[in-house]
Chains A and B, each alone.
Chain A
Amino acid sequence: MKPLTVSFAFAVLAPIASAQEASLGDVSGMLDFRIGGADGESSWLDGDFGKLGLGGDDRDFKLDARLARGVLVWRPSLSWSTDLYLQLEVDPEQDDVIGVGEAYLRFKPLPSGPVRYSVRVGAFYPPVSLEHDGLAWSTTHTITPSAINSWIGEEVKVGAVEGTVTAPLADGQLSVTGALFGYNDTSGTLLTFRGWAMHDHQVPIGGSFPLPERTPQYWSFRKRQAHKAEPFREIDDRVGYYARAEWRAADPFLVNFTYYNNAGDGRSYEDLQTSWATTFSNVGFTAALSDDFHLFAQAMIGKTDWIPLANAPIPYVDDVGFRAVYVMLDRAFGDQGVALRLDAFDTADRDQAFSYNSTPETGWSVTAAWRNQLAPGLLLMVEGLFIDSDRPSRTADGIAARQSQLQIESGLRWEF
């Protein structure tokens, strides 16, 4: 067992030893049914360049009805201040149809004053997304999350020890979070070989996602990179970290900043998965324009690199920069609501080591969604999403670099 694995297991088990006043806790869950379709390219989930969860049939609009997601969440308590969070996922579109989404132990002592502390240990998403505020990391304003948070969902799940301190400050509230993590060494693989995408598939622990089959870059390094990315994986035994600060002001807005560094060495690899050196900074902003009218925005900038041919006379470094931003307006009308979101994203080949220009892309998207809370626990959503992107590596597949797609989807979500 690797040292990182040993220390991780110890950190998980230590608080359990002193557990008292345990409770079986609650079980909740969700079933999310969809009817919808898209035109244009086939989905990236089918090993193509399509940027959405759905794709066209020979570029024509293809309709699809399916169970998109099933979730069971169990929250037993080990004591009055320690509980466990276990999230079982069903996603028929993935190779691992059944998987574990998040699993962590949370220690939250009773506050003796205005300052509060909490610690999480386990596998979970870093607190980056402003969109996933529903049960089991689900979105509540749109069906499809932004490009930024689609990527968090597919490639930024960590095995971490995370601590948070929250204190009142000037009629508001300041939260500071720090974490040490592993099991996220391959983060950046999808952004490099495929680019940005917009979908609501989330990587389970140990899960994988396909890479586009025909990118020249993939074929160049097929002896170092499998035809899939395994995001929750420890390879180089180095400890990454993230730090976050969030300010909830007395006036109704919040702003947060997160810095993430997986401390990947860019060289280590096993089973054709490589440790990428990935860092990013994310800024999030939310404001209540009125009681029922909210603005959400996030901006992310980062880079990821690896040294795929470290032993060559001239070691090639593949250095990819990535940026994305979105702004979303949400207006609630009682049990109903509408959301409108604009996304923009790009990736850049910073080293320009490859003459075939395989990693750069630019793109944008507009998403409009309507929701209706039909009954407690029963949510109907309808969404239209248009995306346009320019990625020169598509030409290696014999298609134009610039592609656009329209996806229209309705979802019926039952929470219990």
Chain B
Amino acid sequence: MLVCLCASGTAFAATVQVEVRTPNGEPLANAVVTVSGPSSSPIATPGKLAIEQKNLQFHPYVLVVPRGASVAFPNLDQTRHHVYSFSPTGPFELKLFASGETRSVKFDKVGTIAVGCNIHDQMSAFIRVTDAPWMAITDANGVAAIPDVEAGSRVIEVWHPLQSGSQDASLKRNVTVTANAGILQSFELAVRKPLKIHSHY
């Protein structure tokens, strides 16, 4: 375990920083990092809870939300989208007309929701619904920083939509968070590399 000097603004809390890399040592973006704890209610939700449709892509590609949250699906394209998921965790269907129409979906079950567009096959996104009170997504450097994690025994969980093996699996590690003493944890995760080639047909 690497220890860094990350002071926290909250008493009896610290910043948990997680670095995720592939077995080749490349930083892995879009990995979902959650930190479980005794607190049952979510403390923070990073970013806005929305998946935009823009330039025939979903943005962001990966979103993590607390259980019970509503996610908006604004259509910013000039064409319409037929957004759906058949994942048992939260199946839904949204018919979104062009230019600004927004509708929301509430997710009450913990798990993973694969999102697609029935009109545009190349559009793909993932929503990870969690009971954990602290959550973040790794950036292009493969790093996620979660501030204000309460001191105590915690479980860090790392998940990626393209991870090798089962999509429901995740990496878990028990750690001890000490007040005002941030920690840095490194994870290694093998991911698939799907072809970025889309068929015309």
Q: Which residues in A have some Cβ–Cβ distance to B below 8 Å?
A: 21, 23, 25-26, 77, 80-81, 83, 108, 110-114, 127, 132-134, 137, 171, 248, 250-254, 286, 288, 291, 294
Q: Which residues in B have some Cβ–Cβ distance to A below 8 Å?
A: 78-80, 82, 84, 86, 93, 95, 97, 118-119, 164, 192-201
Task: Find B201's partner among A26, A111, A127, A253 (CB 8 Å cutoff).
Answer: A127
15 A-B pairs with CB atoms under 8 Å apart are: A77-B119, A80-B95, A81-B118, A111-B86, A113-B86, A127-B201, A133-B200, A137-B200, A171-B164, A248-B194, A248-B195, A253-B195, A286-B195, A288-B195, A288-B196
CA distance A347 to B194 in the complex (A): 37
Closest to A135 in B: B200
By a CB distance below 8 angstroms, the chain B residues around A25 are 79
Q: Are A251 and B193 in contact (CB under 8 A)?
A: yes
Task: Find A250's partner among B93, B192, B198 (CB 8 Å cutoff).
Answer: B192
Task: Find B192's partner among A81, A108, A251 (CB 8 Å cutoff).
Answer: A251
CA distance A291 to B196 in the complex (A): 8
> Given A23-B80, A171-B192, A252-B195, are A108 and B200 also a contact pair (CB < 8 Å)?
no
Task: Find B95's partner among A21, A83, A137, A288 (CB 8 Å cutoff).
Answer: A21
> Given A171-B192, A288-B193, are A133 and B82 also a contact pair (CB < 8 Å)?
no
CA distance A294 to B196 in the complex (A): 10
By a CB distance below 8 angstroms, the chain B residues around A294 are 197
Closest to A75 in B: B79
CA distance A326 to B178 in the complex (A): 62
CA distance A376 to B164 in the complex (A): 34
Q: Are B118 and A133 in contact (CB under 8 A)?
A: no
CA distance A112 to B87 in the complex (A): 9
Task: Find B118's partner among A111, A248, A288 (CB 8 Å cutoff).
Answer: A111
CA distance A21 to B197 in the complex (A): 31
The 6 closest A-B pairs by CB, nearest first: A127-B201, A252-B193, A250-B192, A252-B195, A26-B79, A110-B118
Q: How far is the CB of B80 from chain A (nearest CB, A)?
A: 6
Q: Are A254 and B195 in contact (CB under 8 A)?
A: yes
CA distance A108 to B84 in the complex (A): 13
Q: How far is the CB of B164 from chain A (nearest CB, A)?
A: 8
Q: Are A133 and B84 in contact (CB under 8 A)?
A: no
Q: Which of B82, B193, B195, B200 has the most chain A CB atoms closer than 10 A to its own CB?
A: B200
Q: How far is the CB of A338 from chain B (nearest CB, A)?
A: 17
Q: How far is the CB of B81 from chain A (nearest CB, A)?
A: 10
CA distance A250 to B80 in the complex (A): 30
Q: Are A134 and B196 in contact (CB under 8 A)?
A: no
Q: Are A111 and B84 in contact (CB under 8 A)?
A: yes
> Given A80-B82, A83-B119, A108-B118, are A252 and B194 also a contact pair (CB < 8 Å)?
yes
- Apart from A110-B84, A111-B118, A113-B86, list 12 A-B contacts with CB within 8 A: A108-B119, A110-B118, A111-B86, A112-B86, A114-B86, A133-B198, A133-B199, A137-B200, A251-B192, A286-B195, A286-B197, A288-B193
By a CB distance below 8 angstroms, the chain A residues around B78 are 26
Closest to A112 in B: B86
By a CB distance below 8 angstroms, the chain B residues around A291 are 193, 196
Closest to A130 in B: B197
Q: Are A127 and B195 in contact (CB under 8 A)?
A: no
